[in-house]
Amino acid sequence: SVNQITDGGVKVLSEELTKYKIVTYLGLYNNQITDVGARYVTKILDECKGLTHLKLGKNKITSEGGKCLALAVKNSKS
């Protein structure tokens, strides 16, 4: 959190974290993540089924990115 992570940083995180799939907590609070980065977070949600805590507040994600995230959360529960 609060590391000025951008969409590019989230892309790298998604590529690395989905290799191991053992993530349970991901704190990305107060960064520079937009809807583009939110799509990379959905990849993490899809692949890392053990993820139980995700903090994304105070980023630049709009309702469009929020919809993608909500759908990914819904799908991860099924």
Q: What's CA 14's distance to the chain center, in Å?
A: 8
Residue 42 has what pLDDT?
A: 98
- Which pLDDT does position 23 carry in this prediction? 93
pLDDT at residue 59, rounded to an integer: 98
User: How is the chain split into domains, by residue range?
Assistant: 7-76
Tens place of pLDDT per residue across the chain (78 aa): 678 999 999 999 999 999 988 999 999 999 999 999 999 999 999 999 999 999 999 999 999 999 999 999 999 877
Query: Which homologous superfamily does the CATH classification assign to the domain defined by 7-76?
Result: Ribonuclease Inhibitor (3.80.10.10)
**Cα-trace Rg, the chain:** 11
Q: What was the pLDDT predicted at 1? A: 66
Q: In the prediction, which pLDDT does 34 show?
A: 99
